[in-house]
């Protein structure tokens, strides 16, 4: 979706008639980036980068899985409590992304149709 939005931004006419579409595209891209950065550490490129950049929700959930998977007993209450917190935060980010796909992209596509510009397709 991000690649399509970037390509679309480059295809838009440079006049002021589609300025609102450009603003909408920029807003969607910033919100998608914010969601991605809440879920994943996008700046870490090597193993030592985790020292410089904080871990994100996916790494926390992975570490929690490792803790729950260790030993020969059921996960502890603390593990379950942390899972509830992490899964709630992850679900919140996924709901934001779904809202962008279901609402914002549809609005953008409707605006694009007004100007006879090809739409963005989401898989």
pLDDT tens, position by position, 46-104 = 777 777 788 899 999 999 999 898 888 888 999 999 999 999 999 999 999 999 999 99
Q: How does pLDDT run across 13-29, given as a tens digit for each residue?
A: 887 778 889 999 999 99
Whole-prediction pTM: 0.83
Question: In which band, very low, low, confident or very high, does the pLDDT at 121 lie, cut at 50, 70 and 90?
Answer: low
What's the rounded Cα separation, in Å, for the pair 62 and 68? 10
Judged on CB neighbours under 10 Å (0-12, 13-18, 19+), 103 is exposed
């Amino acid at each position: 979706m991000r690649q399509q939005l970037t390509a679309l931004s480059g295809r838009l006419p440079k006049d002021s008639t589609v300025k609102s579409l450009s603003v909408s595209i920029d807003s969607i891209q910033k919100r998608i980036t914010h969601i991605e950065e809440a879920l994943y550490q996008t700046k870490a490129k090597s193993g030592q980068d985790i020292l410089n950049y904080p871990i994100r929700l996916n790494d926390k959930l992975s570490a929690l899985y490792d803790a729950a998977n260790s030993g020969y007993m059921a996960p502890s209450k603390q593990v379950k409590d942390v899972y509830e917190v992490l899964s709630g935060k992850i679900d919140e980010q996924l709901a934001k992304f779904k809202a962008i796909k279901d609402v914002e992209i549809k609005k953008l596509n409707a605006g694009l149709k007004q100007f006879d510009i090809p739409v963005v397709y989401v898989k």
